[in-house]
Structure formats: C-alpha cells, structure tokens
Structure 1
Amino acid sequence: MTEPTDPQPSNASALLSEAMTKSGLLWIDVEGDRTWPAWHVWDEGAALVVSGPGEQPLPWLPADVRLILRSKDTGGRLLTVRAHSHVLEPGSPQWERAAELLRASRLNAVDDCVTRWAAQCTITALVPYDSPVESPGAYAADDHRRAPARTAATTTSWRPWHLGGRGEERVARKRVRAEAKAARKADKERAKLRKKRRRRGGPFRGL
C-alpha cells in the first residue's frame, strides 16, 4: 500500500495505528457533504473501504478527506486525521490484496463478493498524512454529531408479531371499539325517545 505522504511523529503514528487496528469502524468527513461511517481494514498505512451495491453506502470520495477514529475502549472520538483517497483499479495487485483483506473481514457474505466488487463496487484506500487535526487533549468544540445517513433500507414485508398487537394497532382497535360503543348508546337513546313519543302520541318520524 502507498505510504503516507508526510511522516507523522512516532507517538501520533503509533496512536493512529492502534486506533485503526483495534476498531473496524471509522467516520469519513467529506467536505460539503456529511460524515459517513464506514467499516474498514487497516493495511500498511492505509484504511481500505469497499462501497457500492450490496455494501455500505458511501459517496464518491474527493482526493482529500478527514478520518475520525474512535477509542475502542470508550467509543468516543480519539483522533481526526487528514487522508488522501485513492480508488484502486480492479485487477491490479493493490486491488487484489485489498479485496482479499476485505473479504476476510466481511461479515455475512452470501455470494462471491470479490467478483461482485470487481464488477459493481469501489475499493478505496484512505492514506493518512500530516499531524492529527484532533488528538487527546486537543479536541475541537464541535461534537461531530450528524443526522443519520440517507439509505433506501425499509421494512417491506413481514414484521415481527407482538403480543396484543403493535402500539398503533392497539390504538386503532380502541378507537373502533369506542366509536361502536358510542353508536350503540346513540341507538338506545333514539329508541327510548321513540317510545316516549309513541306513548305521548307525538310525531316520531325520522327518529
């Protein structure tokens, strides 16, 4: 894999390597877009990510991005680093190595994912460079919280069975029962009124 453009201080480099290897999740901050979560594999100074049909949703990444890394122990922000993004060419030695490493880390694969990646997906190497933008003791005030990423995922068919029905179903049934009860009560009141008018000899047409 391509080495970082500018060597990092040894302590920052060690912390970066530890953060990348201990956690398989990072966030890619794309300028003008949003921060995207991505699972990755760390290999020789580069974070490898795959995206496309059947994989994690990622936009087309610009040449320079920022990577936000979390602490495996606390789950909180640990480092923010600049990185160059390089799209790997399918069939190249770099792509073949990256695909094998990603395949080994890919969970719940149900097909020949490497063949699918070559035809439909994009494998990108994210190579950190320069000193960290954020590190322990030097964090920006921004907490980096963002709205959830857009996705086409939805529930289209079967939903789990709930004892007594789902909340909205229970409310709808309760409303129907209340309406039926009110209608029965109104019918009884009209019937009583008709009887009273018959006894009095008054008109009752329309009741």
Structure 2
Amino acid sequence: MTEQSDPQPATASALLAEAMTKSGLLWIDVADDRTWPAWHVWDEGAALVVSGPGEQPLPWLPPEVRLIVRSKDTGGRLLTVRARTNVLDPGSPQWERAADLLRASRLNAVDDCVTRWAAECTITALMPFDSPLESPGAYAAVDHRTPPARTTATTTSWRPWHLGGRGEERAVRRRLHREEKAARKAAKQRAKLRKKRRRRGGRWPEL
C-alpha cells in the first residue's frame, strides 16, 4: 500500500500562483517595521518588485519577510506566506528578465526606466516558501490593523478651494439657515397672536 501525499501544499501553491497572477498588489510585512504595499510582477514562483527614486518606496528588506496576498474579488487578505528576498544585480540575466517584465507592467513611464533602474533603483525577487501561515479557513484571530504611516503631508497651511464649500462649512450654513427660518416663523406667530389680542380687546402677556 502506497502512502498518498498531502494535497494541501499543492493546493496552496496553486492558490498562491493564481492570486499573485490576478492581483498586481501585495503587502510586504517587514519585521520591526510595518507592512508596505507594493506592486509586483509574478514570474516563475517569485514576486518581482522595483523600488527607489521615482518608484514605490520600500525600506531595506531583510533576508526573510512575510507577504500578504489579497483576493482580487474582495480585496481582502487571502494568504500570508513567508518569503526570501533576493536583490538582483543590474546587468545579470535575472535582472534583465525582471526589468523587462516590470517595464511591461509599469504604468505611466515617461523615461527610459530600465536605465534609471540600473543606476538608481533596486529590483528584488520575493520567493515564497513553506506552507502558508494564513489561508482560507485558517486565519489568525488578530485583525492585523496597524496605525497609518507617518507622513509630512498636511493641508493646515492651505486648503484647496471647493465648489459649494467644504462639508463642515456647508453644515454650518445649513444650521444657520434653519435657525434663521425658525426665528422668522416664531416672529410671525407672535405677530398673529398680537393681532388676535387687539381684535378681542384682551390683555395677553407680551411674547
């Protein structure tokens, strides 16, 4: 009697390849840092990413990271896998292949991006290994929420003009309009009561 192999690794591998192929976005969970979003190209078991000046910002990646793969249908977390990082050397056959694939997927390139990548940027291959840490039906209990990344972006010194005003400004105007309308209505009611008092000759208290 021969032993049957566990189909789970093959199933997880097929699910990983399908998810990586369908979605060009993943999250790179760096230990002692945070989770970084990154667009990538999937090629023969590796997620290829480019980072540096003019490209997506990524920190220095340690030898091992975690990749969080999303579902193309829901946009939510689908798989969490461990991955080894391999920085490709410019000019090597692996780098040339990765650069060609990334250039084909790169949106809105306005220059010779491959030359710029070789001089200024880093192309990294992220190679998943081992069984997924999280998969459908086996997710961790934690919600993986993290605080927003710190940024110097601000609008406190100058706020763009909005047609019709901003939401809070419109709310203030609506409140003032309602108060003014209520005051006019109350004034009309008081005037009617005074007229009735004069017609009847009564002495009603002033309102």
Cα deviation 1:151-207 (Å, max 9, x = unaligned): 56667xx97642244568889xxxxxxxxxxxxxxxxxxxxxxxxxxxxxxxxxxxx
Name 1:142's counterpart in structure 2.
142
Residue of structure 1 equivalent to 2:123: 123
1:6-85 map, 5 Å: 9-85=9-85
Aligned to 1:184: none
- Alignment partners' CA distance in 1, 2:116 and 2:149: 24
CA distance 1:169–1:44, shift in 2 (3 Å): same
What is the TM-score with the length of structure 1 in the denominator? 0.72
Partners of 1:87 and 1:122 within 8 A in 2: yes
Deviations 1:54-105 (CA, angstroms, capped at 9, x unpaired): 1111100000000000111111111000000000011111011101101110
Which deviations, in whole Å up to 9, do the C-alpha atoms of 1:34-68 show, x marking residues without a partner?
11111000000000001111111110000000000
Corresponding residue SS for 1:145? coil
Residue matched to 1:88: 88
RMSD: 2.6
Alignment TM-score, normalising by the size of structure 2:
0.72
CA distance in 2, matches of 1:163, 1:138: 48
1:190 is matched with none
Does the 8 Å CA contact 1:57/1:151 hold for their aligned counterparts?
A: no
Identity of aligned residues (%): 86
Instruction: After superposing the two structures, state which structure 1 stretch, 55-64 or 159-168, moved more.
Output: 159-168
Residues paired across the two proteins, number: 165
* Structure 2, unpaired ranges of 5+: 1-7, 172-207
Query: CA 1:150–1:53 in 2, change beyond 3 Å: closer, same or farther?
Result: farther
